[in-house]
């Protein structure tokens, strides 16, 4: 397997596409520019180097987009795509005959390298999540008022009981997608050190007031921390993560845990991906599909994965809950 990177360079909602030069492998096919990861390189370092070599531009590497694995017959590649910001330098074509800037809807008009096609589908799917961010921005106060009243004590107690040490003052919890700060406040009041993370700027500001400390205002796709937390609490947050990114995000969460650390997450019951009546994006699971997802991670043991029905806005909602522990590679 050859690891290769791809750059999703966006400008004014248009994405850069590049046509492979004649004489190159896959000549005349279009691709997201990038290249092979050399020994000792991270994907981010590779992309910076490749884009400098291919276009003489300087860039900043953003969050992970998606992965594509494709067998070309003579070689099998794993393509890792990242969002990239063009910082400086004029585009000079070294390995390509042509570049163009296309909207999401126009991407299908080109003849793409086969390995890039799943990346395009992931981009389209992820574009559907934008109304979710807009919803939380526009409805932060009402959502905060609603969720602060929700009772999740029984689940929170199971999570806390799973932590290795009973000495709360030595435990560090990451509240991943803290919303209005309901659970962070409980953890802080119990004596834990808490890092609260929330992608919505408006919700993060409300949470800061509620918990009395700063909230990290980033998306969970941007979490890149190693061996730091004793517990990660992701209550009704990862359910907004597209399936094209969920393995990457969950692996980063596992990496962020100390050995022995505990990871809690919850999803709504269902199949596939959907938009709800409020226009929010959801990534749903059944018990079988959630267990299949967790089985892909070698460094964890399952404490419990369970289903429960709870009332929400006058209706019964089926939720899936997971508790896993980082144990190192088996």
**Are the CB atoms for 316 and 310 separated by under 8 Å?**
yes
- Domain boundary among the residues 105, 127, 149 is at 127
For residue 249, the model assigns a pLDDT of 93
Q: How far apart are CA 34 and CA 271, in angstroms?
A: 34
Look up the CATH number of the domain holding residue 143.
3.40.50.150
Residues 172 and 198 in one domain: yes
- Domain boundary among the residues 127, 151, 169 is at 127
For residue 25, the model assigns a pLDDT of 83
Is the pLDDT at 312 greater than 80, yes or no? no
| Positive or negative torsion for Cα 161, 165, 166, 172 | negative
Residues 147 and 290 in one domain: yes
Report pLDDT digits (tens) over 176-207.
999 999 999 999 999 999 999 999 999 999 99
In this prediction the pTM is 0.79
Is the pLDDT at 13 greater than 70, yes or no? yes
Residue 72 is part of which domain span? 2-127
Residues 39 and 152 in one domain: no
Residues 93 and 148 in one domain: no
**Are the CB atoms for 281 and 238 separated by under 8 Å?**
no
Residues 245 and 205 in one domain: yes
- Mean pLDDT, range 275-292, rounded to an integer: 94
Is the pLDDT at 330 greater than 60, yes or no? no
- Domain boundary among the residues 85, 105, 127 is at 127
Residues 251 and 137 in one domain: yes
Look up the CATH number of the domain holding residue 31.
3.90.79.10
Is the pLDDT at 323 greater than 80, yes or no? yes
Residues 109 and 208 in one domain: no
Half-sphere exposure of 89 (CA within 13 A, CB side): 17
What is the torsion angle, in degrees rounded to the nearest 10, for the CA atoms of residue 28, residue 31, residue 34 and residue 39? -80
Residues 178 and 309 in one domain: yes
Number of domains in the chain: 2
């Amino acid at each position: 397997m050859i690891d290769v990177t791809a750059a999703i360079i966006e400008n004014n909602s248009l994405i850069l596409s590049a046509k492979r030069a004649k004489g190159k492998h896959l000549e005349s096919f279009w691709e997201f520019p990038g290249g092979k990861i050399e020994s000792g390189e991270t994907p981010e370092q590779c992309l910076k180097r490749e884009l400098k070599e291919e276009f003489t531009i300087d860039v900043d590497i953003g969050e992970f987009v998606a992965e594509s694995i494709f067998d070309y017959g003579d070689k099998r590649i794993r393509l890792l795509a990242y969002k990239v910001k063009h910082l400086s330098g004029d585009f000079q074509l070294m390995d390509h005959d042509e570049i163009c800037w296309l909207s999401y809807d126009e991407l299908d008009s080109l003849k793409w390298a086969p390995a890039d096609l799943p990346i395009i589908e992931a981009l389209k799917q992820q574009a559907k999540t934008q109304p979710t961010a807009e919803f939380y921005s526009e409805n932060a106060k009402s959502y905060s008022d609603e969720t602060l009243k929700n009772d999740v004590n029984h689940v929170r107690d199971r999570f806390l009981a799973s932590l290795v040490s009973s000495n709360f003052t030595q435990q560090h919890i990451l509240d991943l997608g803290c919303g209005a700060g309901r659970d962070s406040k409980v953890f802080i009041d119990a004596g834990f050190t808490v890092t609260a993370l929330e992608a919505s700027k408006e919700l993060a500001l409300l949470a800061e007031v509620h918990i009395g400390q700063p909230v990290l205002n980033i998306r969970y796709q941007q979490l890149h921390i190693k061996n730091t937390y004793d517990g990660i609490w992701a209550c009704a947050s990862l359910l907004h993560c597209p399936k094209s990114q969920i393995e990457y995000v969950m692996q980063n969460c596992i990496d962020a845990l100390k050995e022995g650390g505990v990871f809690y997450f919850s999803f709504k019951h269902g199949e596939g991906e959907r938009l709800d009546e409020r226009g929010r994006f959801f990534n749903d699971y059944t018990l079988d599909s959630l267990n299949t997802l967790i089985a892909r991670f070698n460094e964890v043991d399952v404490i419990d994965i369970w289903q429960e029905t709870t009332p929400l806005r006058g209706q019964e909602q089926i939720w899936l809950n997971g508790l896993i522990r980082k144990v190192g590679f088996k």
